[in-house]
Chain A
Amino acid sequence: MSDNILSIQNLETDYSLGSGGYVKAIRSLNLDVRRGESIALVGESGSGKSTLALSIMRLIEKPNKIASGEIIFHDKDKDISVLKLGENGLRVFRWKKVAMIFQSAMNILNPVMRVENQFIDTFEAHNIQDDYSERINKYLTIAGLGEKVRRLYPHELSGGMKQRVSIALALSCEPELLIADEPTTALDVVVQREILFELKQLKNKLNLSIIFITHDLSVASAVADRIGIFYAGRIVEIGRKEDVINRPAHPYAKLLLGSIVTLSTPRGKELSSLEGTPPDLSKEITGCSFYERCPSHVKQCLSYDLKPLKVGEDHYVECLRAQELLDSED
């Protein structure tokens, strides 16, 4: 069995602008998700992180498309090339191998079906043999809900409860990989913490691998073993949580960390902020995409071939000056 559960190679996903133009939302992306790990992909709006989730699940619809690349799911005994799967293969792949939790539970819950029927729907599509009722109860409990939720309709549930139902649904076919796309953004602080805390415990209990997508570095640092920083369709820094948080190598990551306000941020301290806007992804970008906004850019950055450079144990970054800047900080 391979160490990795998912390997993404040179993935390119395009969004159509109509009249022939394309926005390259994901640009030649490479990522290995290890078995049993929880990896957080952090990026701001438009960085491409949600697109990656949709690409893995093959939810990119015409006229948008996955232009090129490979997504390999390393199942127990064989490798599955996700991009080559047909209808039937996809049905097995989705939910039994990889399941997804969306930002808004409304995206996954059918508003005119009772909760238990949504499970039954899923089970039938996946040829689950065991007793449906038992399974439903099992996963509702795992997600922190009581049995009486079964007969309710989604609109009768609070935001937190809806999200828990989505989690239960996602786990109910016992996938190996879970993709969570901003699952707690729309929720209150206390509920968010509850759900994240429980997700972390679930991961260990159920032996899951999780890809966690978020714009919030604090959320990422709470749930993840590794963190990947997304910018302009690529992962510009990736490493262990402690390393990325405490010793960020990419200038973007540094600015991002500096702009976070915590309870210990002194009042009146000027927060680091980013000027300008992310690059236009419908145009060709040569060299480093962060060049315009980077406080440490130099001429060579424009001809950088974006090969990841190692700056620490299991810590890689796409920045020419990263090592040099890190050395000067120590």
Chain B
Amino acid sequence: MVTELQSLRYTPAGIPVVEFRLAHASERAEAGATRKVNAEIDAVAFEAQARLLAGGKLGRLLKAEGFLCAKNRRSKKPVLHVTNIEFMEGN
């Protein structure tokens, strides 16, 4: 689910970028129990994925695929670089 969404911007080379925040909620098996999973992570998407997200509503459910990468040289905080998006039905 998208919980924060910045407006679409362009890199100096003209590539569209959008920065956003994703929230995740699910249930997973862990050490013999079923536990609730909650997490949030900063994310970024480029080009087609950026355009798909841009201007959309918050709270949409989606399936995101991508990789983790440090925010920058100073902060090793992971950012999810979304390379594929699938919006869930019914949104």
B and A form one assembly: no
Please give the residue numbers on chain A whose beta carbons come within 8 Å of chain B beta carbons, in ascending order. none
Please give the residue numbers on chain B whose beta carbons come within 8 Å of chain A beta carbons, in ascending order. none
